[in-house]
């Protein structure tokens, strides 16, 4: 009787440990996804800035052409 009670506690502890390990793995995966999302946001911001600079460059080229035609 005492041994079966101990064995049951051992099984419960093992199950809790397994659940804890699974939860820890899920949290690590969540952290990794969060980090990837942050990197994606940074890259998206850089791309938007690049697009803006490209647009400014195009406008500058147009103005420069107009200036040369005026000379």
| Distance in angstroms (rounded) separating the CA atoms of residues 67 and 34 | 49
Q: Tokens 């800035």 belong to which residue?
A: 49
| Distance in angstroms (rounded) separating the CA atoms of residues 47 and 39 | 12
**Dihedrals phi, psi of 63, to nearest 5 degrees:** -65, -40
Q: What is the pLDDT of residue 71?
A: 77
pLDDT (tens digit per residue) in 22-66: 999 999 999 999 999 999 999 999 999 999 999 999 999 999 999
């Amino acid at each position: 009787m005492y041994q079966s009670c101990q064995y049951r506690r051992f099984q419960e502890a093992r199950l809790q440990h397994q659940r804890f390990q699974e939860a820890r793995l899920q949290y690590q995966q969540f952290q990794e996804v969060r980090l990837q999302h942050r990197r994606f946001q940074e890259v998206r911001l850089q791309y938007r800035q690049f697009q803006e600079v490209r647009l400014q460059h195009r406008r500058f080229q147009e103005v420069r052409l107009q200036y040369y035609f005026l000379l």
